[in-house]
Structure 1
Amino acid sequence: MTTFRATDADLADLRARLAAARLPETETVRRPAPDPRRWGQGVPLEDLAELLEHWREGSDWRRFEERLRKIPQQRVHVDGLGVHVLHRRSPREDATGLILTHGWPGSIVEFVDLLDELAEPEDPQAPAFHVVVPSLPGFGFSDKPATTGWGTEKIAAAWAEVMAELGYERFLAHGGDWGGVITTILAGRFPQRVIGIHTTVAQPPPDLALEVLTPAERDWVRESQEFWAHHAAYAKVQAAQPQTLGYSLVDSPVGLLAWILDKFAAWTDTRDSPFETIPRDTLLDNVTLYWLTRSGASAARIYSESHDSLDPDLRVDVPTAVTTYPRDIEKWPRPWVQERFRRIVRWEAADSGGHFPSLERPAHFVEDLREGLAAVLAADGDGASAGIGPELSADVQETSGSP
């Protein structure tokens, strides 16, 4: 397995496609910035044109490649599929294994710049972690499934195998978006392996009573239900026709960028542009990763495999920390959430932030994750068995910075 490096030809092809982009006319709803209503018909032409120019002339993918090369990486094979992981071990003897799972339209980019802080905190009293960040099947440097079946249940089972192969008999887990669903399943199906979890997506079982909620909690439910009823067309398209959509996402960098940018704009805690909180080069690193790995279609298929499929009877009995951000796409109140997550040891409602907290508020995210997992470890009472285990299995290929 060799270190990933995009070919000069691929990068030149990307620039040529961007230079030759055919853009539509401007939207018919136009307002001066800043104004979130500018995005009412989707990504405004002016914003996209400016970002395309920066992607073509100013963005530096080689810089991101060099950042990745400094992070130890491995490939673990599960059921014939190669799963790429970032694996940043901590030098501390008391460190605990931790798997972080991204979602769509995110990637490992969500966590790349946080690994050192989690593995080697400056405060010796803060918990330290051996951090594992896999790319979901069909995303990034992981293999693309060639058959159906790779939904969230199978991915969660694969994560349990990945962590075992890496030497972690017991471990912690965190996730948001699809990563939150997978983390929920991982904890519910493998409680003997999972010490506890932290999540920003704690979905309750269906058909719970509104009467037990306060007015503010009912507002959370209303907002979440409104999102899925009126703003989830992207999910329904990716669930129903990922292959059809995939032709555009794999062939057109402009289409890929617009499809992903639209979600970053809508789901961040900003007044107008996502770049109020997320550097544009970070977003472009994420989009370029999708482009160079040709994963627009394969990533979309997680929706056809798993959209709206979380087992209504699944319960989580391991210690759980939940953090909700005010501009996330779904927020569920604690009286409902605790019907599924039956051992909540920490519940936080952040004062700002959206769907991508590790990118929007990285310092807060790290501190919140530490505090949440510290509460989980304190509740577990058996953290001593959670650290790095035996030598790596023969099924794991280890390199220094190699997908």
Structure 2
Amino acid sequence: MSQTQPAITRRTLLALAASASAVGILPNAATATSATPGITPFKYTATDEQLADLHRRVVAARLPDEENVADDSQGVRLGTIKKLAKHWKSHDWRKIETRLNSFPQFITDIDGLDIHFIHVKSKHENALPIVITHGWPGSVIEQLKIIKPLTDPTAFSGTEADAFHVVIPSLPGYGFSGKPRETGWNPPRIAKAWAVLMERLGYTKYVAQGGDWGNAVTELMAVQEPQGLIGIHTNMAATVPADIAKLLSSGAPAPADLSADEKGAYEQLDDFYKNGLGYAIEMNNRPQTLYGIVDSPIGLASWMLDHDIRSYRMIARSIDGEKEGLTPDDVLDNITLYWLTNTAISSARLYWDNAHHPSGGFFDPRGIKIPVAVSAFPDEIYQAPQSWAEKAYPNLIHYNRLPKGGHFAAWEQPELFTAELRASFKSLRDQI
């Protein structure tokens, strides 16, 4: 089944899926949810014309003058973009497309919107179901490296007792999910949709995981306490105490009585609030204005690279040829997905929706009562201190400070991330 645009009608999807099954090109569907009412098998194949147009635009890109500073204080450096553009000319989208299509993918309507998701069931009978949510500027591509280690642990230095059934949805307006035509698709609403999804898949006991927007969605699932959710894991925890948040908002220096870990977190957050929020301010207020990143792949790439300074610098080093958590191909796989699905602005509207339908501060504790596990990576926007995590999550069942890794933890450090999920939920497995 070849599909060039994800936003097509339910009737068309059903017809295409039936046709695909008839000719046997969906071999993985039977192992997951193809027989479940309201769930349609899905594959995506970009057209040759789409890829040719992308490459033409990359070659024809008009670039700005070089920055007039000797560092990245003005944003993504011209040299970095030139090297990325050169690599893009030889980037093979078909490789990641084939990899995506090797996993069972599906579409289901929830609350009037088509939701795309990957669903891979473990061969191990007592596997723990988990729903994993990406963020911006990410996609389901972030989690591809952890699917097999989670579902087939005995092949990846684990035991049968470490197995998970894995569900990875695309956020509304992202990737292959539908683009909301109404406002209000904010994290609380998405959290409710994910609970519907897990129930629809037949999971009566499950856990949830997320970072970035995925953390907001996952934590709000925990606040809502849907029947079946027994615990969550976060790699970008919301733990900042109210008094600390107030000081940060005023631009005050770190209080003298903070521990070393707390002081480090304070300084990371202070730097992010002062220097790293440009993209979020624009998307919070005027996402529809970003026509340039819909029309120019190079514009889109620069916008997506400039998320947080440590991720940007890691990616820039990778583009320069250094061995890092992400490769240039990793980065271009994700940017190309945004380009092909035309989701630069539809994904940005999540910021607007959250700002106009507030669900709490991004790093403010939410009063979660169910079990929570925290993995604190050093190059995240901030490395949550254990002292703050213990206050934010009264039922903290796991905390670990990792030696390396940043904002895209599952993508950058899949082995560490897999080990964290195994350890985080070990104590909850007797509940399934």
TM-score, length-scaled by structure 2: 0.81
Instruction: Give the structure 2 partner of residue 306 of structure 1.
Output: 354
CA contact (8 A) 2:315 2:328 kept: no
Q: Does 1:369 align with 2:421?
A: yes
Q: Write out aligned runs for 1:13-24 (5 A).
A: 13-24=53-64
Instruction: Give the structure 2 partner of residue 128 of structure 1.
Output: 163
Distance 1:350 1:268, change over 3 A: farther
3-state SS of 1:90 partner: coil
Distance 1:124 1:335, change over 3 A: closer
Instruction: Give the structure 1 partner of residue 116 of structure 2.
Output: 84
Q: Write out aligned runs for 1:179-328 (5 A).
A: 179-190=214-225, 192-204=227-239, 206-208=241-243, 213-245=258-290, 247-263=291-307, 266-267=310-311, 270=314, 273-275=317-319, 276-307=324-355, 309-310=359-360, 314-328=366-380
Distance 1:313 1:203, change over 3 A: closer
Residue segments in structure 1 that go unaligned for 5+ positions in a row: 31-37, 384-403
Q: Deviations over 1:221-274 (max 9, x none)?
A: 2321331233211111110110001x1121111100111123376326749524
Residue segments in structure 2 that go unaligned for 5+ positions in a row: 1-12, 17-42, 245-254
Q: Which among 127, 132, 145 is matched to residue 95 of structure 1?
A: 127
The one-letter code matched in structure 1 to 2:180 is P
CA contact (8 A) 1:29 1:41 kept: yes
CA contact (8 A) 1:213 1:335 kept: no
CA contact (8 A) 1:268 1:274 kept: no
3-state SS of 1:338 partner: helix
State how far apart, in whole Å, the 2-side matches of 1:240 and 1:253 are.
23
CA contact (8 A) 1:152 1:181 kept: yes
Q: How many residues align?
A: 371
Q: Deviations over 1:165-216 (max 9, x none)?
A: 1111221111011101111011111253211111012113652466884243
Instruction: Give the structure 1 partner of residue 21 of structure 2.
Output: none
3-state SS of 1:103 partner: coil
Q: Deviations over 1:120-179 (max 9, x none)?
A: 102324411110000000000000000100000100011000111111122111101110
State how far apart, in whole Å, the 2-side matches of 1:216 and 1:334 are.
8
The one-letter code matched in structure 2 to 1:254 is I
The one-letter code matched in structure 2 to 1:44 is R
- 1:94 Cα deviation from its structure 2 partner: 0.6
Q: Which among 121, 144, 151 is matched to residue 112 of structure 1?
A: 144
Q: Which among 101, 105, 116 is matched to residue 73 of structure 1?
A: 105
3-state SS of 1:139 partner: coil
TM-score, length-scaled by structure 1: 0.87
- 1:17 Cα deviation from its structure 2 partner: 0.8
Q: Deviations over 1:77-99 (max 9, x none)?
A: 11110000000110110101100
The one-letter code matched in structure 1 to 2:424 is G
- 1:361 Cα deviation from its structure 2 partner: 1.4
Q: RMSD of aligned C-alpha atoms?
A: 2.1
CA contact (8 A) 2:128 2:163 kept: yes
Q: Does 1:177 align with 2:212?
A: yes
Distance 1:231 1:265, change over 3 A: closer
Q: Write out aligned runs for 1:132-171 (5 A).
A: 132-171=167-206
State how far apart, in whole Å, the 2-side matches of 1:297 and 1:147 are.
14
The one-letter code matched in structure 2 to 1:40 is S
3-state SS of 2:126 partner: coil
3-state SS of 1:131 partner: strand
The share of aligned pairs that are identical, in percent, is 39
